């Protein structure tokens, strides 16, 4: 009876988690369905299984930033906008509830679920890449006659089925690449599996470099640089990693409209060029820091941050449309929204995740945290539904999985 109950519980959670395995293939407007299904499966699991212990401490730690942001709504003049923003970030609360309160300590087959998720996600990203390449061949736009990075980015964004911002596509693909290198670690001998996997990695890297999301690419590079430095010895496998990454950069980065050239071009910082993403970000950061200096302790409330930025953009004589350009820095946005307390809490949560990934010796979780932590320097990942949903799912899923594998004694939970 208990065995049958565990089997049912395993398949319940497998269904809920599996939908996130195909998350890159889910149209933008249907992404919330993944969350709803996982909530439903978790509720059913909680009902049919005997009462289990929960991870209450972890829940309060990782969900605390949501409560701080929620409080900041009431310090905003524009409360309606603040409520819309807090609705977008609801995943910061929902996923901790799912994993630490509803699922808690579990005896289900975690290895089966994780293996299914990792493989499913990787294959989904390969399918997504194939769809994207096909789309690049058939897409037409009179504004983009040359097939450069701008063309590829707009082709992704304009598509009715995909309709996803290239930044988030790049994050999804980068995570798949991290998964792919973890698959390499499991292959002990040179075989056909190595060749197929190497081709798959090169295939994913091709799309990533065609989209040229500079911040995400630099963040992925940091993942592997840190990974190599953390190795006790430099093996042939690590040398292969390095050669593959460097070769991909030199071979795949488009010669036309290489967006990395903007970074070293001094003109990007002298005068605003609205066709230059680095120039735009320089103004974003400038106005973000100016706003921070005016109110460093309490911030402005999550509903008023954009208005403060728009006012600064106007003072800088830009032609930015209102409510279009945010801080493009997650840390800065959190600080402007909820003051120095919110910023410290957010950093504390990231530190907690990093601490647990090291405690459990979970290299995958650690690498994904590095990717997001650096990407936060360039993007407001948690300000869009696509970004906040998947971040909150994958980080909390990995941590919950580690808690239940009993790699270390969690007597403090």
pLDDT of residue 146: 78
DSSP string, 232-270: SS--HHHHHHHHHHHHHHHHHS-STT-TTHHHH-THHHH
Cα-Cα-Cα-Cα dihedral of 36, 335, 280, 152, to 10°?
Answer: -20
d(CA 218, CA 240): 19
- Torsion-angle region of residue 207: left (phi > 0), alpha (psi -120 to 50) or beta? alpha
pLDDT of residue 412: 39
* Token output for 73: 């709504």
**Number of neighbours of residue 36 by Cβ within 10 angstroms:** 12
User: By C-alpha distance, which of 138, 167, 171, 166 is closest to 154?
Assistant: 166
DSSP string, 42-74: HHHHHHHSPP----HHHHHHHHHHHHHHHHHHT
d(CA 106, CA 54): 9
Handedness of CA 307, 309, 313, 314 (dihedral sign): positive
Q: pLDDT tens across 183-192, in order?
A: 877 765 556 7
CA distances from 329 to 218, 281, 372 (A): 15, 9, 12
* Long-range contacts of 241-247, Cβ-Cβ distance < 8 Å, separation of 24 or more: 241/181, 241/184, 244/198, 244/201, 244/202, 245/221
d(CA 292, CA 309): 10
Contact between 388 and 395 (Cβ < 8 Å): no
Contact between 63 and 96 (Cβ < 8 Å): yes
Q: Phi and psi at residue 68, in whole multiples of 5°?
A: -65, -45
Burial 214-223 (b: 16+ CB within 10 A, else e): bbbbebbebb
CB neighbours of 89 closer than 8 A, spacing ≥ 6? 66, 69, 382, 383, 388
d(CA 329, CA 334): 9
pLDDT of residue 408: 40
Counting DSSP H helices and E strands in the chain, the numbers are 18, 0
Ranges of residues in the chain whose predicted pLDDT is under 50 = 1-2, 4, 407-413
**Number of neighbours of residue 260 by Cβ within 10 angstroms:** 15
pLDDT of residue 244: 66
Residue the block writes with tokens 């650690």: 366
Residue the block writes with tokens 């279009």: 324
Residue the block writes with tokens 């239940």: 404
* Token output for 137: 């061949």
pLDDT of residue 89: 95
pLDDT of residue 207: 93
- What single-letter DSSP state applies at residue 327? -
CA 245 distance to own-chain centroid? 21
d(CA 121, CA 108): 21
pLDDT of residue 88: 93
pLDDT of residue 151: 87
């Amino acid at each position: 009876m208990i065995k049958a109950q565990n089997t049912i519980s395993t398949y319940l959670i497998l269904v809920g988690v599996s939908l996130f395995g195909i998350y890159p293939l889910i149209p933008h407007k249907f992404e919330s369905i993944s969350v709803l299904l996982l909530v439903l499966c978790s509720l059913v699991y909680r009902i049919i299984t005997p009462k289990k212990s929960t991870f209450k401490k972890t829940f309060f730690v990782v969900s605390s930033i949501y409560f701080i942001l929620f409080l900041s709504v009431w310090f905003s003049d524009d409360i309606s906008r603040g409520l819309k923003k807090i609705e977008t970030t609801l995943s910061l609360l929902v996923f901790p509830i799912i994993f630490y309160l509803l699922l808690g300590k579990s005896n289900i087959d975690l290895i089966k679920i994780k293996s299914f998720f990792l493989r499913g996600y990787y294959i989904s990203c390969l399918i997504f890449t194939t769809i994207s390449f096909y789309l690049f061949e058939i897409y037409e736009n009179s504004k983009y006659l040359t097939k450069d990075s701008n063309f590829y980015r707009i082709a992704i964004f304009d598509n009715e089925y995909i309709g996803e911002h290239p930044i988030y596509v790049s994050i999804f693909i980068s995570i798949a690449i991290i998964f792919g290198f973890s698959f390499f670690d499991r292959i002990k001998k040179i075989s056909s599996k190595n060749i197929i996997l190497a081709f798959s990695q090169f295939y994913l890297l091709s799309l990533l470099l065609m989209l040229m999301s500079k911040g995400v690419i630099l963040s992925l590079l940091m993942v592997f640089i840190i990974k190599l430095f953390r190795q006790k010895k430099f093996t042939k496998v690590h040398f292969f990693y390095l050669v593959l990454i460097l070769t991909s950069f030199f071979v795949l980065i488009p010669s036309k409209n290489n967006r990395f050239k903007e970074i070293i071009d001094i003109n990007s910082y002298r005068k605003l060029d609205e066709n230059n993403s680095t120039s735009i970000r320089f103004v974003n950061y400038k106005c973000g820091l100016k706003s921070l200096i005016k109110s460093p302790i309490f911030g402005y409330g999550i509903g008023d941050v954009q208005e403060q930025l728009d006012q600064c953009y106007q003072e800088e004589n830009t032609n930015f449309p209102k409510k279009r350009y945010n801080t493009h820095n997650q840390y800065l946005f959190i600080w402007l929204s909820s003051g120095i307390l919110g910023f410290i809490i957010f950093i504390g949560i990231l530190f907690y995740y990093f601490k647990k990934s090291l405690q459990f010796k979970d290299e995958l979780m650690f690498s994904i945290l590095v990717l997001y932590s650096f990407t936060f320097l360039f993007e407001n990942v948690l300000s869009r539904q696509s970004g906040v949903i998947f971040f909150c799912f994958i980080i909390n899923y990995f941590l919950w999985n580690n808690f239940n594998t009993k790699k270390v004694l969690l007597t403090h939970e």
